[in-house]
Amino acid sequence: MIRSDNGYFGEFGGRFVPEILLPALTELEDLFFSLRDDPDFWQEYVTLCQEFSGRPTPLTPLRRLSTLLGGAQIWLKREDLNHSGAHKINNVLGQGLLVQRMEKKRVIAETGAGQHGLATAIMAARLGLEATIYMGAEDIERQYSNVFWMRQLGANVVAVETGAKTLKEALDEALRDWAATVETTHYVLGTACGPAPFPELVSYFQSIISDEIKEQSMRQMGRLPDEIVACVGGGSNAMGAFGAFLDNHEVTLVGIEAGGISFEDGKHSVRLSHNTGETGIAQGYKTLFLQNADGQLGDTHSIAAGLDYVGVSPILAYLSQQGRVIPESATDDEVTEAFSLLMKTEGIIPALESAHGLAGGFKRARQMRPDQHVVINLSGRGDKDIFNIARAFPQREWTEFLQREAARSTELLAQNRGH
């Protein structure tokens, strides 16, 4: 796993927070640094994930789809089969072990798609903690099933009504809460962003994914994969999938961002590729952010609530800058097509976030040889996206119908003129 240089990864990272938060961050950093090289702590964490969340998750070959596409052999790392349905549970269980050691009784979290909020609520119920989850009002509407379960688990879900009412605003409100309650509260940050040590800490717990990929690929393929592909929002599932392979340059690492509708301002969430992200400091750390002409944080869009974020992990910003991670993007239309293709070919229902990784991974696999292997991190399942998919698919199918009818009419008109 990559390690920071005093909280920085190249020029990115750092800790830019109100003075009141510095003691809590220092306490967390000291505890984390004292445990991260302790094999007994790692085994305690792995055992908890196995007994409670169902790890290890399988590495599933997509034989029919690989044959259909005609390129590399495609495999899915099945984080969708975790308890709660996504990779987010890995990080919160690890942070839960830290909360127990710090003897704090309340946790807060931000969430976009709701999977991190749900995982935090589950962890809080398991450990007997009070939980408050901040979620943008727009995301609450898009992901209400997760909100329902968070509340049933005993968490207080707070709707954030400011700004674009999505993940950026939820994170801002969570930081304000933490500043006011830091003595008794731990902030369970959900992705590999924010002030140090969170990017490194979250990546550490999520690296269990790549540890398993390495062992499973050697056993099932007889070798390491040629490429590993993951969607990129904040960056936790990508860092989890990439972590164990960062020093092995024979394995290509590809991160797929949310290309949205277009590359116009406010129509996408692309920060790493296409030179759209600009270096800035916000929300406690320095990274690439989408910014407007005035240097303020810009608006974002994605069909997937979990990728609708204005910043990106400072670790991924650094790795992209160094050329170790290849950043690409997938549009909303490409995502819904990949979503449908996986369902109808392999019987697996992906989350819309994960379907970005599918879209990018399928595109790359088509250009590779049949003796090569691509692993796509399926970071979550699609139960939560049923209403978004229901809205997206009829619109796309109706558009396709109109296009077919227009082409048919043109063809008939040409035939009639010929007579």
pLDDT per residue as tens digits for the range 178-217: 999 999 999 999 999 999 999 999 999 999 999 999 999 9
Q: Which one of 203, 269, 379, 384 is the catalytic residue?
A: 379
User: Is 183 annotated as catalytic?
Assistant: no
d(CA 81, CA 362): 21
Q: Among 138-147, 157-166, 262-271, 357-366, whose mean pLDDT is lowest? A: 138-147
Cα–Cα distances (Å) from 231 to 125, 126, 265, 328, in that order, read 29, 29, 21, 9
Confidence of residue 383 (pLDDT cuts 50, 70, 90): confident
Say what the pTM is. 0.91
Handedness of CA 155, 352, 12, 167 (dihedral sign): negative
The pLDDT of residue 396 is above 90 = no
Cα–Cα distances (Å) from 253 to 44, 249, 256, in that order, read 29, 9, 10
d(CA 78, CA 55): 10
Cα–Cα distances (Å) from 358 to 232, 336, 355, 365, in that order, read 12, 10, 5, 10
The pLDDT of residue 3 is above 60 = yes
**What is the average per-residue pLDDT within 42-49?**
98
Model pLDDT, residue 197: 98
The pLDDT of residue 34 is above 70 = yes
Dig out the tokens for 91 from the structure.
């990080």
Q: Which domains does the chain show, CATH number per domain? A: 8-51+85-202 (3.40.50.1100)
Model pLDDT, residue 171: 87
Higher pLDDT, 419 or 274: 274
Decide: 312 and 288 in contact? Cβ < 8 Å: yes
Closest CA to 354 of 388, 378, 384, 330: 378
Decide: 171 and 142 in contact? Cβ < 8 Å: no
Dig out the tokens for 151 from the structure.
């509340």
DSSP 3-state of 264: coil
Q: Are strands 73-78 and 156-160 parallel, antiparallel or unpaired?
A: unpaired
Q: Which one of 77, 88, 104, 384 is the catalytic residue?
A: 88
Model pLDDT, residue 277: 96
Strand partners, 148: none
Q: Among 17-31, 92-106, 246-260, 380-394, whose mean pLDDT is lowest? A: 380-394
**What is the average per-residue pLDDT within 239-267?**
96
d(CA 302, CA 190): 18
The pLDDT of residue 402 is above 60 = no
Give one word for 264, left, alpha or beta, with left for phi > 0 and alpha for psi -120 to 50: beta
Q: Which one of 79, 110, 227, 346 is the catalytic residue?
A: 110
**What is the average per-residue pLDDT within 256-283?**
94
Cα–Cα distances (Å) from 407 to 244, 397, 410, in that order, read 50, 15, 5
Q: Are strands 252-260 and 73-78 parallel, antiparallel or unpaired?
A: unpaired
User: Is 269 annotated as catalytic?
Assistant: no
Tell me what the pLDDT averaged over the chain comes to: 93
- What lies within 8 Å, CB to CB, of 43 at 6+ separation is none
φ, ψ dihedrals at 286, nearest 5°:
-110, 125
Model pLDDT, residue 65: 96
Model pLDDT, residue 142: 82
Q: Are strands 59-61 and 73-78 parallel, antiparallel or unpaired?
A: antiparallel
User: Is 379 annotated as catalytic?
Assistant: yes
Model pLDDT, residue 1: 79
Decide: 185 and 178 in contact? Cβ < 8 Å: yes
